[in-house]
Structures are given as C-alpha cells and as structure tokens.
C-alpha cells in the first residue's frame, strides 16, 4: 500500500490566496530541519537514559528499530515523544531503561547523539511543547527581500502531512473522512 500524497489528504496549496514566491520546497534533505522542543530537560537522575538523537533522512520507526538492534533491546523499550519527517534533518529526545554508557554502541550513518541525561520517567508519546521548523525555499522567483516581505504578510494553513496518516497501513485519512460523514460502517 502506498503512502498518501498531499492531494490524497486534501492539501491543494501551501499559502493563502496570494501569488506566492515560487521556488522549491525541500529540494534537498537539509532544506527541512525539525527540532523537537521537549517539555523539560532530563532531571539528572533516575532509571531512564534520555538521549537527543540528530538524524538525517531517517524515518522515526526505522530509526528506533536500528537503535534497538545496536543497543541489544526490544524496540518497545525505546520511547519517543513524536514521529518526525523522514526527508529532513531531525532532532528529538528518546529514552531507554539502560545505563548511559550503552549509547557509545550507536554507530549509524547520519545519526549522532550529542547529549543525554537521566530521568525517573521515560520520554512519552505526545509529551512535548512542539517542533520548530526551518524550511529553505530554494530558487524563489523574487529577490530575497521581496520574498521575505511576501511570506511575512501571507497566511499559512496549518495541516498535518501524509506521514501523520501512517506508513504501515496508510488509510486513517480515509477512515477520518468516513467518520466526518457519519458513515460508521464505512469507517470500520
């Protein structure tokens, strides 16, 4: 089953009614950076090792599986606050119930662990302030100063991308449409 496209989930544009600035979004992996903002830093002591993972072009669940293999644990023992885009450079906190010394085993291409700490609680799904995004628009049609002015005055829609609808069985957008239509049988 293929991952839905932006059009499949109803996204037909990125900006408001203005003409836009042209250019390309996410032409290269490094053109999109996602920095997770945790609710708080690790406490300093506790059962869990929290570690910040910086990864380039890694889908979150594949990264978790690869980390689990290298640490010699089940993937269920590696917890994280949210999934991140694959085609990006991402920074996010994860946790595992192991001593911090095991992090030296991590040797994955385009992955590094710049910091870690201990905490009595694990990192939990959804427990984060949010994400900060850095997006590069390459080759805009306007000179940089005009592009900046146009973007700063524009309206940006807020929506979830296709990755939020699942990669293993990407049908949740279809189920959601059936629920909105109150078609309970069609939803299941």
pLDDT in tens, 98-126: 999 999 999 999 999 999 999 999 999 99
What pTM value is reported for the model? 0.77
- State percent of the chain over pLDDT 90: 59
Beta partners for 133? 34
Same domain assignment for residues 34 and 123 = yes
Contact criterion met (CB below 8 Å) for 125 and 97: no
Please report, for residues 57, 120, 177, the alpha-carbon distance to residue 148 in angstroms, rounded to integers and kept in the order given: 27, 44, 36
If you ran DSSP here, which 8-state letter would residue 5 be given? P
Q: Mean pLDDT score of the chain, rounded to an integer?
A: 88
Among 85, 97, 110, 141, the one annotated catalytic = 85
| 85 given a catalytic annotation | yes
| SS3 (DSSP) at 97 | coil
- Structural domain for 166, as ranges: 1-15+160-188
Cα–Cα distance measured from residue 30 to residue 51, given in angstroms and rounded to the nearest whole number: 22
In a domain, 175, yes or no: yes
Same domain assignment for residues 10 and 44 = no
């Amino acid at each position: 089953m293929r991952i839905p496209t932006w059009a499949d989930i109803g996204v037909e544009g990125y900006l408001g009614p203005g003409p836009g600035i042209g250019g390309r979004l996410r032409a290269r992996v490094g053109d999109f950076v996602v920095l997770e903002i945790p609710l708080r830093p690790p406490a300093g002591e506790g059962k869990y090792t929290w570690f910040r993972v910086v990864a380039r072009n890694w889908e979150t669940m594949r990264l978790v599986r690869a980390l689990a293999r290298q640490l010699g644990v089940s993937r269920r023992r590696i917890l994280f606050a949210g999934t991140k885009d694959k085609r990006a450079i991402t920074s996010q906190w994860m946790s595992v119930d192991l001593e911090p010394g095991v992090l030296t085993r991590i040797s994955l291409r385009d992955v590094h662990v710049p910091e870690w700490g201990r905490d009595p609680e694990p990192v939990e799904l959804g427990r984060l302030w949010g994400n900060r995004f850095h997006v590069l628009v390459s080759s805009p049609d306007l000179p940089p100063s005009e592009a900046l002015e146009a973007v700063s005055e524009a309206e940006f829609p807020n929506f979830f991308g296709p990755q939020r609808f699942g990669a293993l069985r990407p049908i949740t957008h279809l189920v959601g449409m059936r629920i909105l239509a109150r078609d309970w049988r069609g939803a299941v």
